[in-house]
Structure 1
Amino acid sequence: MDGGWSTIESDEGVFTSLIETLGVKDVQFEEIISLDADSIRSLSPYGVIFLFKWTNDRSSSPSHPPDGSYDTTAVDSGLFFAAQTIQNACGTQAILSVILNQESIDLGAELSSFKDFTTGFPPSLRGDALSNSEPIRVAHNAFARASPFADETARPPRPDEESADVYHFIAYTPVNGTLYELDGLQPHPISHGECDLESFPDRVIEVLARRIARYPEGEIRFNLMAVVRDLRIRAREFGDAELLQREERKRRGWAWENTLRRWNFVGFIGEMMRGVVALKEGEGPSAYADWVEGAKSETLKRKGYSQ
């Protein structure tokens, strides 16, 4: 890596493996398909990560956000909040905004050290510390999709630009009796009123519903991920063999998918095609031509055409 931060997917297996790489214990991520309080309540989450298409919301200002209110004293009261100072890190930053604000989570040595080191820092300096943390950056980049191509002409959009391709992660979590929206692009944490872990599902659904309502009708490009206690622990505590088996199978699937993310197969595919073509050419010109025409015919059939 060149020292930058790569884009990672909004994926429960990626996020879970990322925090485990950093040393966090007994925490996982679960995608929430249905936007209702019962779906969230069943998971007893520490918080949620929300992914949405970023727009330049001109209703926001340094004095008040579009919803809720800025809490200018929360950081002084112990809330971890970091300004976003670098491209592509917002996913990991949103994850840490939940993880580092829940005292019951075992952070492990790396993140405990990072949290202790940044205690007392203002959000801007915490953002710089996060951006310059090599262990966190290396763990983050380990889950970027491998690609042999690099577009040197591409540049990230400026904050004041609209883009159809820019998506942003933010966190919602209850801290010290208040529901906070933690968005590194905002100047302060955003308070959405009184809330604890028990009331969190109902309260966060209300906030998310209002946020989604600000988008044009029909916009569906959102993703919601719950930060929860490792479901295998729950399965063992309740003696739920079926749940445990399902979770273990899911973990194996995540491990396989994450392994594939670390490799690009362009070279392999190119060599394989070269070998197949050489093999067909060795059988004679007519055999090669018949093979090509047969492949075209099969492709047309799959598309619903007939010759």
Structure 2
Amino acid sequence: MSGGWNTIESDAGVFTYLLQNLGTKEIQFEELISLDSDSLRQLSPVYGVIFLFKYPTGQSKATSQPEDGTFDHNAAENLFFAAQTIQNACGTQALLSVLLNHDNTLDIGSNLKEFKEFTSAFPSDLRGEALSNSDVIRETHNSFARSSPFIDETQRAATEDDDVYHFIAYTPINNVLYELDGLQPAPISHGACTFDEFPEKVIPVLQRRIERYPAHEIRFNLLAMVRDLRIKAREIGDTEMLYREQEKRNMWQWENALRRHNFVGFVGELVKGVVRSKTQDGQYETWVEEAKKRTEKRLEDRKKKGYAVDDV
């Protein structure tokens, strides 16, 4: 029996190296700060975007038609579309929804090529099961999860009190703009769209999606799957751009390495060292009393502002 899937962050460095570790080449992700077509077009070629949003848990699932666009049930048989069958897998599933629909122009590597060939005749629900049970994909996905000694997310189901987030993909396939969401019964068509038109066509769709939420909701994240920007820098002879992109890769590798480490032991030893130092200097009791006074002052300040004492 396969193990579980852990939560991964919506982060350009995580997604870039996740796909690289699966065997892909010359692909990276870029986070989009502004929602405009010019910013997206500057990254061309853009193969698709991954959108992260807070999932409305109290909302009933779509039936005959989605809120925007139309279900294309026939397309589910002609492109890679997999139903989401397991918690926490939607991030990697969204990446693959873009990648495996552009394998004719991208080098997806032998592992993913074999996976797509193996599942090519499957209906969407069996594709989802095959993805969830792929040891190679799951282990690569989990290698980018933050180390936590306190929570085993593979054994924990979300509750009504949790904020639940969901990844979906938008990509142009066969001159149609598709929304690929494993929680929906079929790909959602948003109309005609060539590969070159994608930056202009996808932005209004994303804007309409965001407008469904209250104005104060800002917890969204958008990442674009693009060609490795170092290639573009070399092609145009931009040494400064090449340096920036390589430095960014170095930072991503450093951050991904930190995600794998459990720092609880380090913090524990650090606290022991501080206590030992204060004890040796004869300042331990004074240090404890000062900490108590600061805590009491914070509690008094919170009372004055009308907060309950136990609000954290």
TM norm. shorter chain > 0.5 = yes
The residue aligned with 1:148 is 149
Unaligned residue ranges in structure 2 (runs of 5+): 302-312
Matched residue type, 1:289? E
Task: Give the 4+ runs in structure 1 shifted more than 6 A.
Answer: 294-300
Residue 60 of structure 1 contacts residue 66 of structure 1 at CA under 8 Å; is this kept in 2? no
Aligned to 2:118: 117
Cα gap change, 1:234 to 1:57, in 2 (>3 Å) = farther
Structure 2: which amino acid aligns with 1:131?
S
3-state SS of the aligned residue for 2:39?
Answer: helix
**Unaligned ranges ≥5, structure 1:** none
1:278 corresponds to which residue? 276
- TM-score normalised to structure 2 length: 0.88
> What is the DSSP-based 3-state SS (H/G/I as helix, E as strand, rest coil) of the residue aligned with 2:96?
helix
Partner of 1:168, secondary structure, is: strand
TM-score in terms of structure 1 length: 0.90
Residue 99 of structure 1 corresponds to 99
Select 2:285's aligned residue among 267, 282, 289: 289
Match of 2:82 in 1: 82
Structure 1 position 254 matched with structure 2 position 255:
no
Change (3 A) 1:37 1:57: farther
SS in 2 for 1:46: strand
Letter aligned with residue 24 of structure 2: V
The answer to whether the 8 Å contact 1:59/1:65 transfers is: no
Deviation at 1:150, TM superposition (A): 2.3
Aligned residue type for 1:28:
Q
Query: How many residue pairs were aligned?
Result: 295
What residue number does 1:233 align with? Answer: 231
1:218 CA drift (Å) = 2.2
Rounded to whole Å, the distance in 2 between the matches of 1:26 and 1:33 is 23
> For 1:228-265, what per-residue CA distance to the aligned partner results, in whole angstroms no more than 9, with x for missing partners?
00000000011000100000000010011001000111
Percent identity over paired residues: 63
1:7 aligns with 2:7: yes
* Equivalent position SS for 1:47: strand
RMSD (Å), alpha carbons:
2.4
Q: CA deviation at 1:163?
A: 5.4
Q: Distance in 2 between matches of 1:213 and 1:59?
A: 18
Contact 2:57 2:164 in 1 (8 A): no
Q: Distance in 2 between matches of 1:163 and 1:293?
A: 37
Spell out, residue by residue over 1:90-135, the C-alpha distance to the aligned partner (whole angstroms, 9 max, x if none). Answer: 0000000000001211001111111111111100000000000000
